């Protein structure tokens, strides 16, 4: 058995079987093409078994981690500055209202593209 090249590994990891779809962008072309602009963020979704209205949605930017977590008790907004706090120990959302609003808009854009029920809420 021969080793798998990095390019082959990336293509296998990003492959989606016929009939299925995935939210995201093709990035394997960056392996062989000209340099491209990095995306401003990457989303993540965490669904719970007790309903679509609960769980967490968030995104990671080049500097920050932003999360909106919903439970039956309410909603929590979390913002970490990964440069100043790489271990994510201090939530700075309450001191950065403008940044929270900006990241919430960016997250909503990802959620709309994914058809997520949280989009716009």
Cα separation, 119 vs 113, whole angstroms: 9
CATH code (residue 77): 3.30.1120.10
Domain presence at residue 120: no
Domain count for the chain: 1
Cα separation, 19 vs 80, whole angstroms: 37
10 Å CB burial of residue 18 (0-12, 13-18, 19+) is exposed
pTM of the model: 0.70
Per-residue pLDDT tens over the stretch 35-88: 777 788 888 877 666 666 788 999 999 999 999 998 889 999 999 999 999 999
Higher pLDDT, 66 or 22: 66
The boundaries of the domain holding residue 19 are 6-114
Domain presence at residue 121: no
CA angle 28, 111, 98 (to 5 degrees): 105
């Amino acid at each position: 058995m021969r080793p798998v090249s990095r390019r082959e590994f990336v293509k296998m990891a990003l492959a989606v079987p016929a009939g299925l779809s995935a939210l995201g962008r093709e990035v394997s072309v960056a392996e062989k093409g000209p340099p491209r602009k990095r995306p401003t963020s990457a989303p993540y979704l965490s669904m719970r078994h007790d309903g679509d209205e609960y769980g967490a949605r968030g995104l990671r930017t080049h500097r920050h981690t932003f999360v909106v977590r919903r439970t039956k008790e309410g909603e929590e907004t979390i913002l970490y500055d990964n440069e100043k706090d790489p271990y994510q120990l201090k939530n700075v959302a309450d001191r950065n209202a403008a940044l929270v609003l900006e990241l919430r808009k960016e997250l909503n854009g990802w959620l709309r593209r994914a058809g997520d029920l949280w989009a716009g809420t």
